[in-house]
Structure 1
Amino acid sequence: MTIGYFLTGTDTGVGKTRVGTAIARGLAARGLDVRVRKPVESGCPDIDGMPVPQDAEALRLAAGAREPLERVCRFRLRTPVSPERAAALEGLRFDAEALRDACMADAGGDVLLVEGAGGFCSPVAPGALNADLAAALGLPVVLVVADRLGAINHALLTLEAIARRGLHVAALVLSRHGDAGDAGMDNAADLARWSGRAVDVLPPGAAAGPSAWAEDAARLATLVERLAPRA
């Protein structure tokens, strides 16, 4: 039986894909069949005249490249804005149901990992937020929070939004990027205290690539163990 998770963030650029590649690589290294989906991606660079989704490709490779990129990411947009806005600008039509269908198509294997686009309440399709896609899928949520000033506010607001949609939070990950910021700040401890949840911390790491994915998987080994299906 396949288990699944919806990977989202408190904002765009918080490190969702880095966390996703770490989880995918960690689960795949255990011999699990990991299926990844990023049903829509905007800001795709043109390669040979075609928009190529960089985040989706990283997830695909980290999971073991079992599936074609077309299945991992069905809708690709060039404009670096929300998918809803990019679709309107580029004349591409899809809705939340189409995104859900793209996530579930051929989604066998042991684990399904779906990454949203932007933050939990970012527009992902005409009339729909990532939150609506998450609710339609009904998967437990892995929430990624950037370790910076304001993290507690962003995390608690997002946790409330997740709870309002009746979704379970599988993990809360604090993602660190370079300088930790204010020396007096301890978002990991404060977030655990205010949320009442365990907080996994991903420290700054190297650029993306197979070795970086493996290193990050090792850093999040406890999280990967919790997310792995039980025999």
Structure 2
Amino acid sequence: MSMKYFISGTDTAIGKTLIGVALLHAARSAGHSAIGAKPIAAGCDLIDGIWQNEDAAALRAASSLELSYEQVNPIALKSFMAPHIAAEREGVKINAVDLCRKINALPDAEITFIEGAGGWLVPLNDKETMADIATGLQVGVILVVGLRLGCINHALLSAAAIKQSGLKLAGWVANSIEPAMDVKDGNIAAIEKRLQAPLLGTIPYLNPADPEAAAALLDIEPLL
């Protein structure tokens, strides 16, 4: 058994890394080897002579196999901004085919979770978007829905774009990103009714973020 999933989100800063690390914890707790990767990360600090991103480092730390930082995050951009803009400023070339090759070269694990940057159609360059990495890998997609006003539209638009790309929406996670949200349950129910994919879990607002607590609320059975 060897499975790969691409983690996308309805926006940036909606908890993709929290859910990615939680999925790694859940998979490992269920007895599966699991690794995480973040092909592109924007917003890095120089640590031990290597530009490193906090989210990519969290995925690496939660993986069950030993991985170098560069394996987890091949493109680490210094500036916290849209990846294609940061790459242009820093003279870095982003190519979806090359990134897919690097992801496919990762050590074999039963489950690999690949976290995108931002949402589904975030540009990589003048021609490619984040979707080209997922389609190049031909993997199922897990959509993290940040629960706030407008999330129904964001979720349905993202799901439609994923379907148009020819990939399967393997599941979605409802992640609370605000301390209080009016009719949160109603929003979740509306999305669940319209998405043809299993709801893997509903995560309450966690401050600070707690991937292990989130993992306990996830049902990964539909992914296995």
Does TM, scored on the shorter chain, surpass 0.5? yes
Distance 2:2 2:149 in 1: 37
- Identical positions, percent: 35
In 2, Cα distance between the equivalents of 1:175 and 1:184? 10
Question: How well do the aligned residues superpose, as a CA RMSD in angstroms?
Answer: 1.8
1:201 alignment counterpart: 202
Task: Trace 1:84-103 onto structure 2 (pairs within 5 A).
Answer: 84-103=84-103
Matches within 5 A, 1:82-121: 82-121=82-121
Report the residue type matching 1:203 in the other structure. P
Q: Are the structure 2 counterparts of residues 182 and 34 from structure 1 closer, same or farther at C-alpha, using a change threshold of 3 Å?
A: same
Calculate the TM-score normalised by the size of structure 2: 0.92
The total of aligned residue pairs comes to 223
The match for 2:214 is 216
Contact 2:148 2:178 in 1 (8 A): no
How far the C-alpha of 1:94 sits from its partner, in A, is 2.7
What is the match of residue 58 of structure 1?
A: 58
SS of the equivalent of 1:100 reads helix
Q: 1:227 corresponds to which letter in structure 2?
A: L
Is contact 2:13–2:118 with CA below 8 Å preserved after alignment?
A: yes
Change (3 A) 1:54 1:11: same
3-state SS in 2 of match to 1:219: coil
* Partner SS, residue 6 of structure 1: strand
CA contact (8 A) 1:123 1:129 kept: yes
Residues 25, 64 of structure 1: 8 Å contact kept: no
Kindly provide the CA deviation profile for residues 182-207 of structure 1, in whole angstroms up to 9, marking residues without a partner as x.
24762111111222443331112242
- What secondary structure sits across from 1:163 in the alignment? helix
Please tell me the residue identity of whatever aligns with 2:212.
A
Uncovered stretches (5+) of structure 1, i.e. residues with no partner: none
Q: TM-score, normalised by structure 1?
A: 0.89
Per the alignment, residue 157 of structure 2 pairs with 157
- The answer as to 2:71 corresponding to 1:35 is no
Contact 1:148/1:180, CA 8 A, preserved across alignment: no
Residue 164 of structure 1, CA deviation:
0.7
Residue type matched to 2:134 in 1? A
Query: What is the letter of the counterpart of residue 204 of structure 1?
Result: Y
* CA distance, structure 2, for counterparts of residue 125 and residue 33 of structure 1: 33
Distance, in Å, in 2 between the alignment partners of 1:125 and 1:98 is 13
Gap regions ≥5 residues in structure 2: none
- SS state at 1:124 partner: coil
